[in-house]
């Protein structure tokens, strides 16, 4: 018997969760280049560093979800920096785990020479190799057994922020010091601004004792992480507004201590419960809500089926009538949303062959969308998945959750010539709003399509915060744990929402 899931089971965090945990916990473990104040040291100041290893327990809202081991070792005139992280928790009642591994080689000033980054688990096998060649970072990316290359221009040789502690240790910290850098995030394959500020001296409770520390605040992609470094330059703890903690521990405690017996269902930890329930959510055709904790200037709260003004968001589920042509979209925007991306591989030969088989390319755009939806419903299994979603891996595994469905639908729709983007935000299921991904197609206006729900148009409980390609999901992190929702009005419309 095929494994089938209920509607609640297919709405969860997956890639958003990955970005939440990995971007938060490993904010200092990617590859950076300095901008204003360059974190750079002389080889002499690092002469005493032969090998250093740190073990950290990883917690989410006080419940353990993993551990991390970081090692920096000197080899002649280079440094070898490795990081291994293991995460284990429950997602909608199912046990999930993932391993990430980073190995980087730097020169004597800790500037990046080459690196390997891998993510492995039952749902994914993703790897990147990179090498710096003067002003270019050459990448080789392996997904679903296939490799491809990318080149990323660099202003100057990058550094590795897993060694930020060493870099900061080479100088005398002062309250008010600030640093600005750019990180290259290999999981999202994009550069993200990182700012570090020294807030001053404090004491924290560490291993049962009051311990004096330097308090540093890091901001990246709208996310804030507070770091606490002792007088021996050890990172004792990191905390974020999302509720995660990274705590320096001995190896035994980091690997084995304090795991919850039943496991942590991390999806529920970040759900948003409104002030009253929404029965028949899949049939809600219009809704009016009051949002708190969301900055309107940062997110895509207006346009398409949504309007927003002074904390009030309204969503109406509808199709444009009559059907309009996709070429009503300005050509510059149309080109962006009919082109392939790092995760949406809409011009790969395997995807193009499938599109020719599934879609009547001479049909109207609405019929093309329905054809894609029918094929995905019949051929892609709905399954909780912990991965970096991309077209090839979904085609290889023929299973996934909202993120995998959104990526594959977007790839097929773009291959059929329909401008399509991925929407990211919240959707209501049973008793709460959960982080979710779906699609929007241009049909004279942006129309919501939820391939995993089989809805065209999607119901009005889909609250879009971002729209674009999958790599933008990191931008949603600042909302986690902050959003509040009050239901003002809604109406159902059987036959309107399909």
Of residues 349 and 242, more confidently modeled: 349
What is the overall mean pLDDT for the chain?
78
Interval 62-91 mean pLDDT: 82
Angle between helices 402-415 and 365-379 (to 10 degrees): 140
User: How sure is the predictor about 453, in pLDDT bands with cuts at 50, 70 and 90?
Assistant: very high
pLDDT at residue 491 is higher than 80: yes
Sign of CA dihedral 122, 123, 125, 130: negative
Provide the pLDDT for residue 19. Answer: 38
Measured CA distances, 455 to 129, 391, 440, 451, 464 (Å): 39, 21, 11, 6, 15
Of residues 269 and 30, more confidently modeled: 269
Q: Please state, for a pLDDT cut of 70, what percent of the chain lies above it.
A: 76
CATH class of 271-492: alpha beta
pLDDT at residue 467 is higher than 70: yes
Q: Could you report the per-residue pLDDT of 248-297, keeping only the tens digit for each? A: 999 999 998 777 766 556 667 778 999 999 999 999 999 999 999 887 66
Provide the pLDDT for residue 290. Answer: 96
User: How sure is the predictor about 462, in pLDDT bands with cuts at 50, 70 and 90?
Assistant: very high
Interval 3-32 mean pLDDT: 32
User: How sure is the predictor about 179, in pLDDT bands with cuts at 50, 70 and 90?
Assistant: confident
Of residues 188 and 308, more confidently modeled: 308
Q: Could you report the per-residue pLDDT of 103-127, keeping only the tens digit for each? A: 888 887 777 888 888 878 776 677 7
Q: Could you report the per-residue pLDDT of 324-361, keeping only the tens digit for each? A: 555 677 888 888 899 988 788 899 999 999 999 999 98
Provide the pLDDT for residue 17. Answer: 40
Instruction: Tell me the C-alpha distance between 24 and 66, whole Å.
Output: 13
Judge contact between 420 and 438, C-beta under 8 A.
no
* Of the listed ranges 151-165, 238-252, 345-359, the one predicted with least confidence: 151-165
Only one residue has tokens 């353990």, namely 64
Instruction: Tell me the C-alpha distance between 411 and 129, whole Å.
Output: 25
**Domain segments of the chain: what residues?**
18-256, 271-492
Query: Angle at CA 461, nearest 5°, toward 458 and 275?
Result: 170
Provide the pLDDT for residue 276. Answer: 95
Q: DSSP states of 397-438 as a string?
A: H-EE-HHHHHHHHHHHHHHTT--EEEEEEEEEETTEEEEEEE
Provide the pLDDT for residue 6. Answer: 29
Q: Could you report the per-residue pLDDT of 383-413, keeping only the tens digit for each? A: 777 667 788 888 888 888 888 899 999 999 9
pLDDT at residue 56 is higher than 80: yes
Q: Please state, for a pLDDT cut of 90, what percent of the chain lies above it.
A: 31
Closest CA to 443 of 325, 321, 302, 337: 325
Q: Could you report the per-residue pLDDT of 361-389, keeping only the tens digit for each? A: 889 899 999 999 999 999 998 877 766 77
User: How sure is the predictor about 212, in pLDDT bands with cuts at 50, 70 and 90?
Assistant: very high
Instruction: Tell me the C-alpha distance between 174 and 20, whole Å.
Output: 30
Instruction: Tell me the C-alpha distance between 401 and 12, whole Å.
Output: 8
């Amino acid at each position: 018997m095929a494994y089938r899931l209920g509607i609640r089971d297919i709405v969860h965090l997956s890639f958003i969760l990955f970005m939440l945990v990995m971007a938060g916990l490993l904010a200092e473990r990617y590859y950076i280049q300095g901008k204003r104040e360059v974190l750079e040291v002389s080889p002499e100041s690092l002469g005493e560093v032969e090998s250093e290893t740190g073990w950290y327990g990883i917690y989410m809202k006080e419940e353990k979800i993993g551990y991390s081991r970081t090692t920096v070792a000197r080899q002649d005139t280079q440094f070898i920096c490795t990081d291994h992280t293991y995460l284990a928790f429950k997602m909608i009642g199912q046990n999930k785990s993932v391993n990430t591994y980073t190995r980087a080689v730097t020169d004597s000033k800790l500037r990046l020479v080459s690196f390997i980054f891998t993510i492995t688990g039952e749902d994914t096998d993703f790897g990147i190799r990179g090498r710096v060649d003067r002003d270019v970072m050459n990448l080789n990316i392996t997904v679903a057994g296939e490799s491809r290359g990318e080149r990323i221009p660099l202003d100057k040789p990058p550094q590795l922020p897993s060694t930020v502690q060493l870099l900061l240790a080479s100088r005398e910290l002062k309250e008010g010091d600030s640093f600005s850098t750019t990180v290259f995030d290999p999981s999202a394959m994009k550069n993200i601004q990182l700012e570090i500020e020294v807030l001053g001296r404090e004491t924290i409770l560490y291993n049962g004792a009051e311990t004096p520390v330097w308090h540093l605040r890091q901001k990246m992609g709208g996310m804030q992480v507070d770091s606490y470094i002792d007088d021996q330059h050890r990172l004792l703890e990191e905390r974020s507004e999302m509720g995660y903690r990274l705590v320096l521990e001995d190896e035994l405690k980091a690997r084995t201590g304090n795991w919850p017996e039943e496991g942590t269902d991390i999806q529920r930890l970040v759900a948003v419960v409104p002030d009253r329930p929404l029965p028949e959510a899949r049939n809600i055709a219009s809704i009016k809500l009051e949002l708190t904790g969301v900055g309107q200037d940062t997110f895509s709260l207006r346009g398409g089926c949504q309007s927003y003004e002074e904390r009030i968001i309204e969503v109406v589920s509808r199709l444009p009538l009559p059907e309009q042509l996709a070429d009503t979209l300005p050509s510059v925007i149309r080109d962006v949303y009919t082109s392939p991306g790092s995760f949406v591989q809409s011009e790969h030969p395997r995807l193009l062959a499938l599109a020719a088989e599934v879609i009547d390319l001479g049909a109207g755009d609405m019929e093309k969308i329905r054809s894609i939806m029918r094929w995905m419903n019949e051929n892609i299994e709905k399954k909780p998945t912990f991965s970096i979603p991309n077209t090839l891996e979904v085609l290889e595994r023929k299973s996934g959750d909202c993120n995998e469905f959104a990526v594959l639908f977007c790839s097929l729709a773009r291959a059929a010539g329909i401008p399509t983007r991925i929407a990211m935000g919240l959707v209501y299921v049973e008793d709460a709003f959960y982080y979710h991904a779906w699609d929007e197609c241009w049909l004279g206006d942006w129309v919501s399509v939820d391939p995993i729900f089989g809805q065209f148009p999607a119901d009005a409980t889909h609250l879009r915060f971002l729209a674009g390609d999958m790599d933008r999901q990191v931008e949603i992190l600042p909302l986690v744990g902050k959003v509040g929702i009050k239901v003002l009005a809604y109406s159902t419309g059987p036959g309107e929402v399909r």
